[in-house]
Amino acid sequence: MDKIGERIAFERSGTRLYDALIVKYHAALELDPDALPHELPADLEGDLSVSGSPDEILARIRAEELAHFGLLCDAMTQLGGDPTAQTPCADIIAVASSGLMQVLNDPRTTLAQCLNAMLTAELTDNAGWELLISLAEEEEQTDLAASFLQALEQERQHLAVVRGWLAAIVSDQPHPAVV
């Protein structure tokens, strides 16, 4: 349950990080509309296919982070825990990720710098879900493990989006306004 508490905290603050990333994206657009791709790369990583405008994709990821938060709150309640409690691991993950919030909300950081910070978040998020799934399987919570696996699939896409977008911005004719 401590680990579910950790993921609750991370998905909730992740939703807030995407709120900040959306603001950052719009600020970068205002600064120089030509500096950013209008479409994200269609095939980001192997079989993970994501397409659409950055705006739509960011809004979708933000909604999924929020939905994962809801899923975890449900799981915590189902196991007899309090989803509003700050568990020890939730407390520590907040310390570990406090720098991400600082980077995302700083008006002086670029979109690329923020995507780099989000890469840290998404890598941690993916590993966190993988661990949670194995813990659920160990405890023979098969329904939970299955729903966590669905969330992990979405998190893999989030990671691919962030990684691909960051690579595209920094390596393909880097533009000073966003790098």
Partner 1 sequence: MAINLLQDRGTPLESQRFTWKELVQKPISKLDDDAFTRVRIILMNGVELDSLRIKQVLLRMNRALRTPIAQLMRVEQHQATLINWLIGADHSPIETTIAYEQAAIEITASVAQLEPDTYLAQGYRFALLEDFDHLYRYSALLDRLEGKDANNITQGHTDIVPARPTAMHHRAPEHELLQPYAPSAALATKLHALTLTGGEYQTHDYYMNIGPLLTDPLARQLYAEIASIEAQHITHYGSMINPDESLMEKMLLQEACEVWNYAACAEQESNSRIKALWERFVDYELGHLQVVMELFKQHERRDPAEVLGDGSLPPGVMFESHREYLREEIDAETNLRKDGTAFVSEDREGATSIAYRQQMNKDGSPSTTVSATYRWAPGTELARVVTPKAA
Which residues would be at the binding site for partner 1 (CB under 8 A)? 8-9, 12-16, 19, 64, 66-71, 73-74, 83-88, 91-92, 94-95, 98, 101-103, 105-109, 147, 150-151, 154
**CB 46 to partner 1: min, Å:** 23
**CB 85 to partner 1: min, Å:** 7
Q: Of 14 and 168, which has the nearer Cβ to partner 1?
A: 14
**CB 170 to partner 1: min, Å:** 22
Q: Of 5 and 164, which has the nearer Cβ to partner 1?
A: 5
- What are the residues whose beta carbons fall under 8 Å from the beta carbon of 132, sequence distance 6 or more? 3, 4, 7, 148
Q: Of 8 and 168, which has the nearer Cβ to partner 1?
A: 8
**CB 71 to partner 1: min, Å:** 4
Secondary structure, 3-state, the chain:
CHHHHHHHHHHHHHHHHHHHHHHHHHHHHHHCHHHCCCCCCCEEECCEECCCCHHHHHHHHHHHHHHHHHHHHHHHHHCCCCCCCCCHHHHHHHHHCHHHHHHHCCCCCCHHHHHHHHHHHHHHHHHHHHHHHHHHHHCCCHHHHHHHHHHHHHHHHHHHHHHHHHHHHHHCCCCCCCC
Q: Of 69 and 168, which has the nearer Cβ to partner 1?
A: 69
**CB 65 to partner 1: min, Å:** 10
Q: Of 155 and 168, which has the nearer Cβ to partner 1?
A: 155
DSSP β-bridge partners for residue 48: 45
Q: Of 136 and 168, which has the nearer Cβ to partner 1?
A: 136
User: 103 φ, ψ to 5°?
Assistant: -65, -45
**CB 86 to partner 1: min, Å:** 4
